[in-house]
Amino acid sequence: MDTDTIAAISTPIGEGAIAIVRLSGEEAVAITSELFDGKELKEVESHTIHYGKIIDPETNEVAEEVMVTVMRGPKTFTREDVVEINCHGGLASVNRLLNIVLSKGARLAEPGEFTKRAFLNGRIDLSQAEAVMDLIRAKTDKAMNVALKQMDGRLSKLIQKLRQELLETVAHVEVNIDYPEYDDVEEMSHDMMMTKTKEVYKEIERLLQMAQQGKILREGLATAIIGRPNVGKSSLLNALVHENKAIVTDIPGTTRDVIEEYVNVRGVPLRLVDTAGIRETEDIVEKIGVEKSRQVLKESDLVLLLLNYGEELTEEDINLFKAVEGLEVIVIVNKTDLEQKIDLDQVKELAKDHGLVTTTLVEEKGIDELESAIADTFFAGELDAGDLTYISNVRHIQLLKQSLTALEEAMNGMEQGMPIDLVQIDVTRTWELLGEIVGDTVHESLIDQLFSQFCLGK
């Protein structure tokens, strides 16, 4: 593992009141001390902050007025000595400060390297490290709470508990094989192993049942707004976002491209996509937009299908119902402020088991009912992010699915009367797969790949 001192800007790029340059490593305090005009940082107590100035070693002039926080390992995020230099938040200021720090021997950190060091130094496991990025990317309070629980080790503790149960089972088999003469060791039978295996299997199944909701919290519901031109798709996007993101006019075909926006609906993040109206058109630009809309539709978790209350159903409307067959759909009859021309009985027949909501978006009526319908569709109106362990990471989901497959093979082997020492191969494989979630049995190349996805300075 690298022992050099790393440095990076840990605040977002742009203007702000304060920016932070973070250092971690054996020389973090020494490097900063050489540049700092103020208290002798090598002598100050850990976890204290000090006012002073950073001196540019090339010019011997004051480069910045700063507050420096000194935190000595192992009671830090990386378990190494960490220094955070707080300076003014301008781009020129923070970049100049970083360059000065690098000139004194620190190395520019790679993306996610601070968190990687926390993992390699044993402060957190791999699932907790991945939760750091989930926390940064969280779009709602509920998504943030799920990430915080994972950072706190809730998933790690559960996975380690399951691994321990499997390990004890495998160890028991090994003792029976290697030391058959020990009468005081109970022989591991097929029934005993089947019982243990089924217990772990059921727990992994439960985790995977929650995975869909966890994935939604983490990534958001891919939600497509579709309908004939000028039924109010852009108005719906603006109403949910509470901001004018899309152009709203009475001219059909105004939306020529896909407009994407994240919105928070009852704690559920929607990756909301306003599409060009799906219709036959000779306009080349609009035609490209329509094709993009069809592609978005195929990739959507939820479809909001808009109809016009003030117009009769057309063949285009009916074709849209055919296009969304098999998808999760909420039908919205918009513009109820107009004189009714649509046949609602026909709409209900076409909607079948889909949700149906009426709205008047120009008067902002029906939005609450729509938000309730969305929440009810995916979470039965309730989402408990506090008491449940949600699996949201795609890597974790795949590993859990592979674990179930390995346990199924073990149970099939036992049912067919295979020798118990052969069955334990699949049980051991499950133990290894679960270990990859927390990083106990993961390869170094995967670790590098995971942390490369992090932002600089984290």
Bigger pLDDT: 308 vs 258: 308
Each residue's pLDDT tens digit, 230-247: 788 778 887 877 654 433
Q: Check residue 244 and give its pLDDT.
A: 46
- Flag whether pLDDT at 341 surpasses 50: yes
Q: Where are the domains of the chain?
A: 6-109, 132-210+391-451, 220-379
Reported as a pLDDT band with limits 50, 70 and 90, residue 221 is confident
Q: Check residue 254 and give its pLDDT.
A: 39
Q: Check residue 263 and give its pLDDT.
A: 79
CB crowding 71-106: b at 16 or more within 10 Å, else e = bbbeebbbbbbbbbbbbbbeeebbebbbebbbebeb
Topology of domain 6-109, CATH: Gyrase A; domain 2 (3.30.1360)
Task: Name the DSSP class of 66.
Answer: E
* Number of helical H runs and strand E runs in the chain: 16, 13
Over residues 98-120, mean pLDDT: 91
Residue 456 burial by Cβ neighbours in a 10 Å radius (0-12, 13-18, 19+): middle
Spatial CA neighbour of 149 closest among 382, 440, 431, 391: 391
Fold match, 6-109 / 220-379: no
Domain 220-379 has CATH 3.30.499.10: no
- Flag whether pLDDT at 15 surpasses 50: yes
Over residues 338-361, mean pLDDT: 87
User: Mean pLDDT highest for which of 18-22, 115-119, 281-285?
Assistant: 18-22
- Flag whether pLDDT at 350 surpasses 80: yes
CATH fourth-level superfamily of 132-210+391-451:
tRNA modification GTPase MnmE domain 2 (1.20.120.430)
Reported as a pLDDT band with limits 50, 70 and 90, residue 368 is confident
Over residues 263-286, mean pLDDT: 62
Over residues 395-406, mean pLDDT: 91
Bigger pLDDT: 80 vs 283: 80
Reported as a pLDDT band with limits 50, 70 and 90, residue 409 is very high
pTM for this structure?
A: 0.59
Reported as a pLDDT band with limits 50, 70 and 90, residue 184 is very low
Over residues 85-96, mean pLDDT: 91
User: Do 200 and 448 touch, CB atoms closer than 8 A?
Assistant: no
Each residue's pLDDT tens digit, 139-176: 666 667 777 777 777 888 889 999 888 888 877 776 66
Q: Across the chain, what does the average pLDDT equal?
A: 80
Q: What angle do CA 278, 231, 296 make, to 5 degrees?
A: 35
Over residues 240-257, mean pLDDT: 46
- Flag whether pLDDT at 76 surpasses 70: yes
SS3 assignment, position 258? coil
Omega before residue 74 within 30° of 0, cis: yes
- Flag whether pLDDT at 255 surpasses 60: no
Q: What share of the chain is helix, strand, coil (3-state, %, to 5)?
A: 45, 20, 35
